[in-house]
Chain A
Amino acid sequence: MGWGLVAPALLWTLAFFVLPFAAMIALSFAHMEGRDVVRGFDPGNYVRIFTDWTMLKALLNSLEITAIVTVISVLLAYPLAAIIAFRVPARWQRLALLLAVLPFWTSYVVRSYSWLLVLGQNGVVNKALLGLGLIAEPLEIASTRVATVIGFVHFFVMLLTLTIYANLIQLSPNYARAAADLGAGRWATFRHVILPLTLPGVMTGAFLTFVLCIGDYITPQILGGNNELTLPQLIMLQLGRSGNFPLASALSVVLMAVVTVAYFACSRWLRLDRV
């Protein structure tokens, strides 16, 4: 009876994850001869990924950008979620959350191109800074890593705010009261009570941010100006330009491996029932 109930989910996972993933791993050990894919067991693609500086650099770029985005997003989303949970009256919290996630309603691609205009030399940011006399020359923001990070952070702060808010709102106010009774100040209460209790929500959101960010192709492609390649961009080059499916598969397996490592690093906090 139990197996019967889980069978649809198992079959779904088998058909749409396990089998395609196995096929991708098998393809990653093939190689190209001219424009033809030759099946076999050739670890050459993996050797190339870890010995070719262009490929290694793409992996490092992805890790650096993802780490920066995740940290900044958490630092911005936590206070925002706390303000909504603890400072906004209960009857306005839904509206506050709605406003926080409003940018989600816009197409991801359109939002990225919009940022390109906002961050450009003649964009709103530069015009405002020039108008305020804070800078003499327009800043070079568009088509840089900074632009990529801004585009990512804008997106992921919304996601993290939701996960952290969901965690904060479950906290009984009695925890803070008990801490105050025992003589803890606001900072000590936050550090020793609130933060540990909300860590599962933070880590779940951070993990989701990491996974979505490291696998994203659109934002670095549009906002980064191709001034540095990330791993997904490299994969797209192999698929769309070279037709080198074995190398694209090997790069995708490496990407999956990185995500798996991140999962195990966060697994002790990843409890969905706490989100």
Chain B
Amino acid sequence: MARFHSVSLTALALLAGASPSFAQELNALVWCDHTDPALVEPFEEQFGVTVNLKEYEGTAAGLAILDQSQPGDWDVLVIDAVDVGRAVEAGHLAEIPADQLPTADFFPEVVMAENNVIDGKTYAVTEKFGYNTISYDKTKVDPADMQDMAALTSGKYDGRIGIYDYYLPVIGLVALGQGVNTADITAGNLSSLKDPLFKLRAASKQVSDVVSAQTALATGEVDIVVGGGEWLTAVLSAENPNLDWTIPKQGGLRWAQSIGVVAGSTQPDLALEFVKYIVSPEGQARLASSSCYWGMPANAKAGDSLSVEQKTVLRWSEQPEFLKRAQLYPIPDAALDTAMQDMWTEMLNQ
């Protein structure tokens, strides 16, 4: 099967070189992990094309870019798995053939058909996942404390905590700390999360984006990052093996990103080939250890292409347990989303 896949890709690559039907550039709207040349260059060489990558942060920003673009401007979209429905609703994703995707090789929990398949049509496929939980420096905090979220607001670690600046996972974690499942967060009970969120904020030193959170943890500015996980500490592990992460007893959040073909793409076949490359074992291994941030590959067969050290950092062997204990991001409707963001903004400016 793998051999057939390889042969067919090679044939398509030759076709791409000979036929004017394939344009020479593929435009992809992605997250920063896709900008690692080690990930994209093998595809570019195989198909003789250039992949133009534009990074974005936050689904709203990505959808706004697509809203303001002409059909055909973009070919591939990487998006938060829980937001695939929003992109489909806005008409930005095209159906892709499910039978050409290796989802049978995926960790079953991250196939996420409930998100990627809408009305029986597949619009995206999960490519990478991980956890928003607690990262810490194990030489500076008691690892046993990190098993209980209550320790964060006990006073013991005041001023030594950084919060990852993304409202969905952090409010989700706070909810888990209060015994509320992420799927059960509603406009009605959101106000009950305000007090614990603000207490966490009061105990924290800063609220930071990815780079600042990594810098703070690496330089000892903070000892704990709430909302962190393997994506935060893995790229630093070689230089600082003291950085670790865990899922506390209350649970953690599972993030997942999906990839799909943009509706209106003028080269949907090539775009689909890119999607297929990304979810292939080789593409998955490269994506998992991308220079921007690491994360678990959705395709379990990528394990064959990852080194023992890489799998150790990703906690490969512990995934069955982690997957059981992690919940998905909250999926708020527009009203709840606005309420959550207003609460987050108030928290930042308290």
Contacts and interface: CB of A to CB of B under 8 A. Distances in A.
Interface stretch (B99-107, B190-198, B202-210, B277-285): B202-210
A113 interface: yes
A229 B211 contact: no
> Looking at A54, A123, A228, which has the most chain B CB atoms within 10 Å of its CB?
A54
How many A residues are at the interface, by size bracket? 20 to 34
13 contacts: A34-B333, A34-B335, A54-B342, A54-B345, A57-B349, A113-B215, A142-B221, A143-B206, A228-B348, A228-B349, A239-B61, A242-B337, A244-B338
Given A239-B64, A240-B58, A243-B64, A226 B338 contact: no
Contacts of B333: 34
Nearest to A34: B334
A229 B349 contact: yes
A116 interface: yes
A54 B346 contact: yes
Given A61-B349, A243-B60, 12 more contacts: A32-B338, A34-B335, A35-B334, A54-B342, A54-B345, A121-B221, A123-B219, A143-B206, A225-B207, A225-B208, A229-B349, A237-B345
B33 interface: no
Interface residues of B, number: 33
B224 to A, nearest CB: 14
B341 interface: yes
B220 interface: yes
A122 interface: yes
Contact of A117 (B209, B219, B335, B338): B219
A106 B231 CA distance: 29
Consensus secondary structure, chain B interface = helix
Contacts of B342: 54
Contacts of B334: 32, 34-35
B86 to A, nearest CB: 8
A170 interface: no
Contact of A226 (B159, B337, B348): B348
Given A226-B348, A227-B207, A241 B60 contact: yes
Nearest to A225: B206
A197 interface: no
Interface in A115-167: 116-117, 120-123, 140, 142-143
A241 B346 CA distance: 14
Contacts of A228: 348-349
Given A227-B206, A228-B349, A229-B348, A242 B215 contact: no
Interface of A: 32, 34-35, 54, 57-58, 61, 113, 116-117, 120-123, 140, 142-143, 221-222, 225-229, 234, 237, 239-245
A120 B221 contact: yes
B63 interface: yes
Interface string B57-72: 1101101100000000
B316 interface: no
B212 A225 contact: yes
A229 B206 CA distance: 12
Contacts of B207: 225-227
B41 interface: no
A142 B205 CA distance: 10
Contacts of B165: 226
A116 B345 contact: no
B35 to A, nearest CB: 16
Q: Which of B57, B159, B221 is packed against the most chain A CB atoms within 10 Å?
A: B221
